[in-house]
């Protein structure tokens, strides 16, 4: 464990997820004893791959979860843990459930701005001990990228690929190749036996290399502070009002159509304008996974501009929503918050 002296080996933080689960009475459930179980799985890799693996320190959260139970509080807890310990390690690997892994990775990117070393999040579609499990392969890939000093950001290593954390989405519910970054190229990949990093695709110098972490308290936003509202044909102003008039709500992500289109319904647009006027931070992305939005391109979308809704361009829903949470948790003036939402902070847009 790692509370003692600085170490030259990466730190692995286990938060839960299928990777560490075992069969229980009611299905798979998170289990402890991860250090020994992980060591056994990595030992079973072919000798040459085993030999290329760095040794590591391990921090196992005492209460591993299925990542469907994560909230902004868990994102905050994890970022603080990394911020407290990262200086003692060349890199950090986070073992996490795949279901909300992209949300956590996105949130870490905003909290750990200016990162000067790798933080690599991974998990598995099958538990460590399952026949043909992807767990050891994914941890191997994550560990090898976690000791590459040219990687200076939060990334996801999964299914042979390295993706920017704040650009990635869970794309498959069963396949081992479970993550994709639809609007951003891979940061690296496994070629043959070895991980290959594409450093020219990393963040720009201004975006990395000088840690300027922002670790605000997400607690006040954790229960319903930000909502995600996907439009559908027939959505009514009354339904959107029910979301936006909730006094606990401070911001919302709207998932609109195509290139940035919404129904030309004055009542609906009026509800959005009213919420913006009350200081709620509203942003929009497209329901199309590829490409971004261009608010105002169609007359029907112009109303979003007039209602003060910000364009989230080609961001993933995970990146846009975690950015709303992050900016709303910071003590910023409304104008500055809106400016930052529209600015690329960590390669998210």
- Can residue 99 be called a binding residue for ligand ASP (CB under 6 A)? yes
122 scored as a contact of ligand ASP (CB under 6 A): no
88 is a site residue for ligand ASP (CB under 6 A)? no
Q: Which residues are registered as beta bridge partners of 170? A: 179
Q: Which is nearer to ligand ASP, 126 or 183 (CB)?
A: 126
User: Should residue 106 be labelled a site residue for ligand ASP when binding is judged by CB under 6 A?
Assistant: no
Nearest 10 degrees: Cα torsion 315, 319, 324, 326: -140
Look up 104 and say whether it is catalytic.
Answer: no
Measured from the CB atom, the residue of 35 and 66 that comes closer to ligand ASP is 66
Q: Which of 66, 88, 189, 214 binds ligand ASP (CB under 6 A)?
A: 66
Under the binding rule (CB under 6 A), the answer on residue 17 touching ligand ASP is yes
Verify binding: residue 18, ligand ASP, rule CB under 6 A.
Answer: yes
Which position among 41, 56, 67, 271 is part of the footprint of ligand ASP (CB under 6 A)?
67
DSSP-based helix, strand, coil % in the chain, nearest 5:
35, 20, 45
- Active-site option among 18, 100, 316, 322: 18
Question: Which one of residues 98, 107, 181, 276 is an interface residue with ligand ASP (CB under 6 A)?
Answer: 98
Q: Interhelix angle for 299-306 vs 266-277, to 10°?
A: 20
Q: What angle do CA 84, 320, 178 make, to 5 degrees?
A: 80
Which residues make Cβ contacts (< 8 Å) with residue 222, sequence separation at least 6? 71, 72, 73
**Cα separation values, 42 from 34, 47, 133, 140, 337, Å:** 12, 10, 12, 8, 45
Q: In sequence order, which residues have a C-beta less than 8 Å from that of residue 271 and are 6 or more positions away?
A: 237, 240, 241, 244
Nearer residue to ligand ASP within complex by CB, 66 or 294: 66
195 binds ligand ASP (CB under 6 A): no
Interface with ligand ASP: number of residues (CB under 6 A)? 11
User: Which residues make up the interface to ligand ASP (CB under 6 A)?
Assistant: 16-18, 66-68, 97-99, 123, 125
């Amino acid at each position: 464990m790692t509370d003692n002296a600085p170490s030259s080996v990466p730190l692995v933080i286990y938060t839960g997820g299928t990777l560490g689960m075992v069969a229980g009475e009611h299905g798979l459930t998170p289990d402890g004893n991860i250090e020994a179980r992980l060591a056994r799985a990595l030992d079973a890799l072919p000798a040459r791959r085993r030999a290329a693996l760095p040794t590591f320190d391990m921090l196992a959260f005492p209460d591993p979860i299925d990542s469907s139970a994560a909230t902004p509080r868990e994102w905050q807890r994890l970022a603080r843990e990394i911020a407290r310990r990262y200086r003692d390690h060349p890199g950090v690997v986070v073992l996490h459930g795949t279901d909300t892994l992209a949300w956590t990775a996105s949130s870490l990117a905003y909290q750990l701005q200016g990162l000067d070393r790798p933080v690599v999040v991974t998990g598995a579609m099958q538990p460590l001990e399952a026949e043909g499990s992807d767990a050891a392969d994914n941890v191997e890939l994550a560990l090898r990228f976690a000791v590459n000093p040219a990687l200076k950001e939060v990334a996801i290593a999964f299914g042979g690929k390295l993706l920017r954390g704040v650009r990635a989405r869970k794309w498959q519910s069963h396949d081992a190749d479970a993550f994709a970054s639809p609007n951003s190229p891979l940061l690296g990949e496994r070629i043959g036996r070895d991980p290959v990093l594409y450093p020219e695709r990393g963040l720009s110098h201004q975006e990395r290399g000088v840690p300027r972490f922002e670790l605000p308290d997400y607690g006040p936003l954790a229960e319903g502070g930000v909502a995600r509202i996907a439009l559908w044909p027939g959505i009514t102003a009354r339904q959107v009002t029910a979301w936006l008039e909730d006094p606990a709500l401070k911001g919302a992500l709207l998932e609109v159509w195509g290139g940035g289109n919404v129904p030309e319904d004055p009542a609906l647009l009026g509800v959005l304008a009213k919420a913006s006027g009350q200081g709620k931070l509203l942003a929009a992305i497209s329901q199309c996974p590829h490409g971004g939005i261009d608010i105002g391109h169609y007359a029907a979308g112009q109303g979003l501009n007039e209602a003060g809704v910000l364009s989230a361009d080609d961001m993933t829903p995970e990146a846009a929503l975690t950015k709303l949470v992050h900016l709303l948790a910071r003590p910023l003036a409304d104008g500055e918050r809106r400016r930052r939402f529209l600015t690329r902070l960590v390669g998210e847009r």
